[in-house]
Amino acid sequence: MIRMFERGQPKPGDVAVHIERPIKLRRVLGIPGLYSAAYGNVGSSIYYALGVVAMSALGLTPAVLAFSGILFLFTALTYAEGATMLPEAGGSGAFARRAFNDIVSFGSSWVLMLDYLVTIAISAFSAANYLGHFFPDLAHPPYNIFTAIIIIAVFTAINITGIKESARLNVIMVVFGIITQVAIAVVGVMLIINIPTLIQNIHWGVAPTMQQLLFGLSISMIGYTGIETVANLGSETRQPGKKIPRTVILVFGTVFLIYIFMSMTALSAYPVYQLDNQWVTDISQKFLNDPIMGITQAFPENIRNIFSYFVAFLAVAILLIATNAGIIGASRLTYFMGLRQQLPSFISSVSARSRVPMRALIIIGILAGALVTVGQVSIMADLYAFGAMLAYTMAHVSIIALRVKEPGLARPYKMPWNIKIGGKEIPVMAVLGGMATATTWFIVVWTHEYGRIVGFGWLIVGLIIYVLYRAITKRPIFGKIEIKTRVKIRR
């Protein structure tokens, strides 16, 4: 038997814990697998996020999505540096643990777990709504809820067979999803986008009001989910120092352009107008659950029917990718938390046959299926915004702290735009990104009732579980456990 230690030297006060770990996750993923997993979350969200954002941001929806895209880029580059520096499952939780301690790491990971559950649930639910184009009953409750639960169960079973098989499925499906979105953007530019209409949609201070604009800005981050998936798959990626940054930039570039063109198309086809003394747009009034289908309904009649079936089919495909990618990310996050003794360690056990955390997959599938029963995209979006902004803020803070505490730590990728303060290199993008995500989180707490109530409730329940587990196992609550893993080498 060979003893292997976690990267880095133990700090004063750390507690050593020996864990038998005969099986580790395989490094089998390249850029196609990573890209498809991230794009499955990020690229799919336009199929439901556009309606939710437009409901509040109205004529400023394209500008709001553009602002969120820039914020996403800053966050993505923060994750790229962190994931290549610490290429292990856990994302922002892993960064926070290295920079601070286990309880901070747990809090970051736990709110992120809520985001993964929302991503899985909202993607499966939206897929069921788009299936309603072929089978009308599926677009209405309770059939869309039942269908979403079945989708989650199927993809949970697929992931239990192994990550490589799951990633191959993602790559195939993501190609069709990109074709769909590019086709819609091209038709929009050629036939629908109208700049004078887009300008007339904006009524400063009235439609949207300042509160609506802030609400729309905070909820718009649901349009850029997925970067955590790349970080969580760092321990299963070949050459993470090169492939993770490239994947992050590739995902950002693709999604940013498509989102801008799609939102401009939607607001050109469905201008803002007054209804019962309220300013609205039909992209959210009539097509809240399937806004991209709304865009196809605005196409010329000679291509509308063909395009609508094409879009419905491929919308389902990309949303299934998101469901699958969310399950992958959530299970790897659970693996990380169990491995670091933040949750009961039996959760992190890896199957000898498929090399995946089977118990974690089953638990995630059950919780996401339960969340689907909410049956409302807007409520799920509220929950996502709470967790994402808090987790992203912790990621930025952790990367800045590590630049100060451990400047000599190997960083295969270092984000650009750095300034020296007191001899330490401080990443400007992380500072700006952290300020923006922290501000957005406070806006979420202020303006999103469901996000505030359920978000804080989820966080409190998690901290109770963590404290009880650490107390029962006689491990430090505020300290950081140094994990020493024994690995059996089979010849």
pLDDT tens-digit map of 426-435:
999 999 999 9
Please determine, for residue 66, whether its predicted confidence score (pLDDT) is greater than 60: yes
Rounded distance, CA 357 to CA 40, Å? Answer: 21
Between CA 350 and CA 348 the distance in angstroms is 6
Sign of the alpha-carbon dihedral angle for 313, 318, 319, 325: positive
Other CB atoms within 10 A of residue 375 CB:
15
Q: What's the pLDDT band for 250 if we cut at 50, 70, 90?
A: confident
3-state secondary structure of 17: strand
Per-residue pLDDT, averaged over 450-477, amounts to: 93
Kindly give the pairing relationship between strand 278-280 and strand 273-275.
Answer: antiparallel
- In angstroms, rounded to a whole number, what is the distance separating the alpha carbons of residues 289 and 128? 10
Q: How far apart are CA 306 and CA 322, in angstroms?
A: 25
User: What pLDDT is stored for residue 86 in this prediction?
Assistant: 81
pLDDT above 70: residue 363: yes
Rounded Cα distance between 283 and 266, Å, is 7
Lowest mean pLDDT among 343-357, 358-372, 385-399: 343-357
CB-CB contact of 223 with 251 (8 Å): no
Lowest model confidence (mean pLDDT) among 66-80, 136-150, 215-229: 215-229
Task: For residue 241, give the H/E element and its range.
Answer: helix 240-269
Is the pLDDT at 267 greater than 60, yes or no?
Answer: yes
Confidence of residue 471 (pLDDT cuts 50, 70, 90): very high
pLDDT for res 22: 39
Instruction: For residues 339 and 485, give the distance between their C-alpha atoms in angstroms, rounded to a whole number.
Output: 10
DSSP per-residue codes, 111-153? HHHHHHHHHHHHHHHHHHHHHTTTSGGGGSTTHHHHHHHHHHH
User: Which residue segments constitute the domains of the chain, with CATH numbers given?
Assistant: 26-456 (1.20.1740.10)
pLDDT of residue 324: 83
User: Is 202:212 a contact under the CB 8 Å cutoff?
Assistant: no
The count of residues in the chain is 491
Q: What pLDDT does residue 161 have?
A: 77
pLDDT of residue 366: 94
- 168: exposed, middle or buried (C-beta count within 10 Å: 0-12, 13-18, 19+)? middle
Top pLDDT among 305 and 123 is at: 123
User: Side chain identity at 245, as an amino acid letter?
Assistant: P
Rounded CA separation 278/203 (Å) = 12
Contact 394, 66 (CB under 8 A): no
Q: Which of 164-168, 285-289, 359-363, 477-481 has the lowest mean pLDDT?
A: 164-168
Model pLDDT, residue 431? 96
pLDDT greater than 70 at residue 212: yes
Over the chain, what is the mean pLDDT? Answer: 83
Q: Which residue has the higher pLDDT, 3 or 43?
A: 43
Residue 87, pLDDT score: 67
Which pLDDT belongs to residue 8?
Answer: 45
Is the pLDDT confidence value at 485 over 60? Answer: no
Residue 230 pLDDT: 62
pLDDT at 4 over 70: no
Using a 10 angstrom Cβ sphere, with 0-12 exposed, 13-18 middle and 19 or more buried, the burial of residue 490 is exposed
CA max distance for the chain: 74
- Average pLDDT in the 386-414 region? 93
For residue 161, how many C-alpha atoms fall within 13 Å in the half-sphere facing its CB?
11
Confidence of residue 251 (pLDDT cuts 50, 70, 90): confident
Among the listed residues 2, 25, 68, the one whose alpha carbon sits nearest the alpha carbon of residue 255: 68
